[in-house]
Chain A
Amino acid sequence: MVKSIAAILTAIALLIGAAIFECYYVSEQFDSFGKELHTLYLKTENETANIEDAKAVQTSWEERKEHLHVWIPHNDVSRIDDYMSETVRLIGEKEYSYALANLEILIHLCSCLPETYSPALENIF
């Protein structure tokens, strides 16, 4: 009896702890990355962004995604990978208007992806 209750409480504590950490960590990672993307967006809008700026943001994403793979489905990570690679190429070719479209998608993904893991009714069912 005591052993069962201890096992239940330990498992619940583990699950709740992991859930809180996941919620905080994923939101924080996407929030920070979103800010970097926003800065790149402003530079691209002013047509002052260069390939080094884009690659810096890409490198930052590469570092984040190593850990994010543990917490979120890998398909979501690769969606950002794809748009990010294309954005780097477009900025390198100075195709700013196309790069802006891609950056808008990336910023949108950063804001909506963490929400898809929140315990909302539409996500549960």
Chain B
Amino acid sequence: MVLVMIRTAIIFVALLIIMRLMGKRQIGEMQPFELIITLVIADLACIPMADASIPLLYGIVAVLTIFVLHEIMTLLDLKVKPLKSLISGKPSVVVNKNGIDDYQLKRNNLDVSDLIESLRTAGYFSLDSIDYAIYESNGMFSALPKQDYEKTQTSLPLVIIDNGKYDKKNLGITGLEKEFFDGILKEQGVKSEKKVLVLTADGTGKLYLQVKNEKFRTFTVNYPEGKTW
């Protein structure tokens, strides 16, 4: 029985470390230790139930151990602030007034397309419609929109350059050539697309450009032959 308790505690701690290392995107609405409990508790209850060679008591002891660990984790989470960030992680500001924080994105195992996807899920289709975006410790995404942000969302922005690489699929949707955007980059003083963290373009000609380690800029261009989407 002591063995079951120790083994349960070891597996719990190992899973907690792995979940914390995996980052916020694996979690989704729960704290890491709550997700582990959800994953583990069903099996702990089922194995002794289905396997008649294991005493039912082993399942009960394991579930009770998980309960104790959960209560201890909840208490630590509430009462010991330094441990809170260790157990549950802390929120990351991935977009600020300078634009996307590439370092924070990488720390959370995310890329620009993941960020834009999360933004769209939260109802923000354009990167310049928000002042701040935060990945919460439970994997949820929060954003502080700019005033009258809805007026800026008139057309769907497409990612043209994502972390130094052209998105060929989106280029095809715009019906524009790579050379057109290369020209724009030159006009903006950017030597190569490899230096670009993100370039988005919407159907009205509004572009959002952020060069790596620089503040973002937005500007308007006219598309050749009056193209739009």
A residues lining the B interface (CB < 8 Å):
1, 4-5, 7-8, 11-12, 14-15, 18-19, 22-23, 69-75, 117-119, 123-124
Contacts and interface: CB of A to CB of B under 8 A. Distances in A.
A123 B10 CA distance: 13
Contacts of A5: 75
B57 interface: yes
Nearest to A10: B68
Interface stretch (B19-27, B47-55, B103-111, B175-183): B47-55
B3 A117 contact: yes
Given A19-B5, A74-B52, A117-B3, A4 B57 contact: no
A124 B52 CA distance: 22
Interface string B61-86: 10011011001101100000000000
A4 B75 contact: yes
B2 A119 contact: yes
A4 B71 contact: yes
B217 interface: no
Contacts of A12: 68
A4 B74 contact: yes
B7 interface: yes
Q: Which A-B residue pairs are the 5 nearest by beta carbons?
A: A119-B2, A22-B1, A74-B53, A19-B2, A19-B1
A117 B1 contact: yes
22 contacts: A5-B75, A8-B68, A11-B64, A11-B68, A11-B71, A14-B64, A15-B5, A15-B61, A15-B68, A18-B1, A18-B57, A18-B61, A19-B2, A22-B1, A22-B2, A23-B2, A74-B54, A74-B55, A117-B1, A117-B3, A124-B3, A124-B10
A70 B57 CA distance: 7
Interface residues of B, number: 22
A118 B65 CA distance: 17
B57 A71 contact: yes
A123 B2 CA distance: 10
Interface of B: 1-3, 5-7, 10, 52-55, 57-58, 61, 64-65, 67-68, 71-72, 74-75
Contacts, number: 62
Nearest to B57: A70
* Residue in B10, B71, B72, B75 whose Cβ sees the most chain A Cβ within 10 Å: B71
Contacts of A71: 1, 55, 57
A15 B55 contact: no
Contacts of B53: 73-75
A7 B2 contact: no
Contacts of B55: 69-74
Given A8-B71, A8-B72, A11-B68, A123 B3 contact: yes
A23 B5 CA distance: 14
Contact of A11 (B52, B58, B67, B75): B67
Given A15-B65, A69-B55, A7 B1 contact: no
A61 B209 CA distance: 80
A49 B155 CA distance: 96
Contacts of B64: 11, 14-15
Nearest to A68: B55
Contacts of A23: 1-2
Contacts of A18: 1, 57, 61
